[in-house]
Structure 1
Amino acid sequence: MDYRLDIGMWNQVFAVPCALVDKHLKLAGKEQLQVLLYALRHAGEGFTVEGISRELGMTDNEALDSLEYWCDRGLLSQTGRELLPVPQDERAAVQAPEPEMETVKEEPAEEKPGLPPKKRMLRPDGEHLTARLAESEGVRYLMQEAESALGKTLSPAMSSLLLTITDDYGLPVEVTVMLLNYAREVGHIGTSYIDSVARDWAESSIFSIEAAEEKLQQLSRARLAWSKVSAVAGLPKRSPTKSEEERACRWMYEWGFTQEMLEAAYEACADHTGKFSAAYMDKVLTKWHQQGITDRQGLQQQKQAAAAKKSDRGGAEKSYDISELEQLSGLRLPDKL
């Protein structure tokens, strides 16, 4: 006789790492837990960040940040687009506290002047964050202002990132708040984006309100330039590459081309390539800049002059003398055909 145990919905289960409950359940945010459970449920099937965000009702940045959270915590490792469990010995090495050792005076490592220390492999944990909140009024103020700037309760990942920005990157609290307000304005409030911008600001020595204001003006001008290029080309909403952004700024602010001329350059680009190409538009606008063409009227005059010159060359090529032709050919054409 065959026996069968029917436990309803428990017939189909998937494994959850003990470390998730033992060490991370208290500290992980809702999004991080949702994403990990989704990934475990679809292990071996393959999934995308877009699929996760669609199924769980979150943004792509939140889904990506949540996956990176578990990589930062040593639960997962990432190679390209493949996620794997971290081997037990490696996880223990990452999570185990460093043994106490006698203080040894070492020569400081040579670093580029003005750069903050490199990022930690792992961001500050919950205990360290709690301790810093208790001892630093500035950190407490930063966390309060960050919630106001981002318009939501801070996740553990975001809280630890803000502490990293302050303690490791060296950005003052007021500069970090300006950065967060900018991130909210452009619609990128995920930890990955904020981390990359903060690191860039630190490497650029933006450690004062004045320097931050100047940087924000540069970013605003770059956004405006790219928005005009996107509008004339009918591009979907996306962030430009560094090269595209630099070219858009050069076209508008260095060469002074209007949106009307950008549209004309795109038309020339589309006629030749059938699509948007910043490199081809750059060649067109470079030529117009060198020729001193600044508006459509000047462009039309240049086209008419080029057409007239071509017509003159064509007429000269078609005109010939009968006697010269006879001498060249060695033949005499009959008087009548």
Structure 2
Amino acid sequence: MGYNFPESLIALEGTGNPRVMFVESPPSFSSPSVWNIPPLELDLSQACAMATEGDLVVLNDTRVKPCRIFTSDEVEILFVRQDTPNVWEVLFPLRGMALGSEFQLPGGRVATLVSKGLPQKIEIRGGSLSTDYFDQYGELALPPYIQRMRGERHCRALDRQRYQSDWSRVEGSVAAPTASLHFDRTHIDDWMKRGVEVAWTTLHVGLGTFLPIKAENLADHKMHKEWCRIPKKTLQLIAQTRSRGGRVFALGTTVARTLESWAQHLLKEEDEEWVGETDLFIRPGFEFRVVDVLMTNFHQPESTLLAMVCAFAGQERVLSSYQWAVERGFRLFSYGDLTIWEKCPVPLKS
């Protein structure tokens, strides 16, 4: 699942005015000619208008926590998840680090490396790492390629605003669900005025979303678990949308992963809210049971996110569409432009 692109297309700032690549589903995959149908370029208002009366748009209300802390020696530590009151799962460069190595954190805390691996684990002394602590000393964890290409290790002031969705409210992610960055509450109002239902999920983005695929065989890739929740109201709206023949739009791969993880449990739609952890790896051959239209950014080669898009719209179709977008200068990745995909009529094998 690779493709080529010039680094100049990697977006380093959000614009608030994305270009949109729309890829409709061909009616049949029996003829190779269907792959020659080019995508369409839309503006954001046209993209929003794709959801019509009777449809349902599902959003992720997670909020990115400022979970990147710099030690006194400027070692960057990404705090992924709290394991016990004093032990955290983290990511940081291990070069020359032995078990028992200590780091001075701001605020008088001391971190000790107690476990290597992916992720590592550190033990904290000198006080807890509360939400207030991260608000005071932490930074948002922008994708490393953005900071590398900027030539800056620290976030810019505008990133605190631009790297959060307009409806983020449940803190817990280490990275943003970036498709949401293109939209604000005026788009929600517009959908609802036109008879489009809007519903919520929560998935806290963690290692499962952003770690690259290293395995030669996709089936051998292990997804890390991420916490997610679907309220009862959202499940009821999904059932109602299905009963009236409407479509379910997932705004982002995190929403799609949450909905399809729930669907794997074969639960009745309206029973109760669904809360759990998911390690579902969606790859070519997966059969989507809930999502009809996927709205998402462009994704990096060899990523689990690109694998999901290929599963949804067909690998050949996705990669040819990406090449079309690269040739036309679309901006890529977290701060880049938007794509919209209609689901394949049949699941495609890898």
Bigger Rg, which one: 1
| Shorter-chain TM-score above 0.5 | no
TM-score after normalising by structure 1? 0.23
Could you say which structure has the higher helix fraction?
1
Return the structure number with greater relative CO, CA threshold 8 A, min gap 6. 2
